[in-house]
Structure 1
């Protein structure tokens, strides 16, 4: 059923991963150029893959186990993306490439929180179905 709360969480997570990457910049270089997610190919692909996993997970509502697994894979993908951003911002010596960090580096954190809430709701639904099956 599409009218569950995890659908809302997954839809917002897809919107964060696919929509807000065009609004918020990731960092500003030392020459003053704003770098967005679509300027770095593998970051752009990771954000779009995260949005794709969220959308696919919405339509897997009949199979809650696969929906839960897709949510976990999406969380892992966002952790890798977040790890890349931390590496990019901390490992650059003398700040040659990253002069100022942008709010776009925090988008994977927002997505992780939303995906964790969705997985919690999916697990709650699975437990409800199992408890009803025990009564039959």
Structure 2
């Protein structure tokens, strides 16, 4: 059943993780040039892994428990990505590499919000199915 609300939330997470990383820079270097996610292979790989997990999770609608677990793993991946960004921005001394942080560093937070909303809707569906099974 692809017409559920969690599909829209997961689709938004895919758009953020796979689409907006090409639009918003992660930061600007000391020369004022924007640095995008595809220039940092670790960040790029983690963004694409997050998008792939969300895409796989959309098509796991028959197995809600696995869909819920994939959502949680995706949240953990995005938290780890956010930690990498914090580490990069705080560990580099002075103005050497990251001069000004961009909005791209906050994309994992927005993705986490949509993934939490999707997991909440998946849990609600699972509870509804359990309540109907009790009535039988």
- TM-score (normalised: structure 2): 0.98
Structure 1, residues 32-90: CA drift from partner, whole Å, max 9, x if none?
22100000111101000000000000000000000000000000000000001111111
Match of 1:56 in 2: 56
Q: Secondary structure at the match of 2:69?
A: helix
Normalising by structure 1, report the TM-score: 0.98
How do residues 27-46 of structure 1 correspond to structure 2 at under 5 angstroms?
27-46=27-46
Aligned to 1:110: 110
Structure 1 segments of 4+ aligned residues over 2 angstroms from their partners: none
List gaps (5 residues or longer) in structure 1.
none
Query: Can you give the 5+ residue segments of structure 2 that lack an aligned partner in the other structure?
Result: none
1:1-136 matched pairs, under 5 angstroms: 1-136=1-136
**Structure 1 vs Structure 2 CA RMSD:** 0.6
CA apart distance, 1:95: 2.3
1:2-24 CA-partner distances (Å, limit 9, x unpaired): 00000000000000000000000
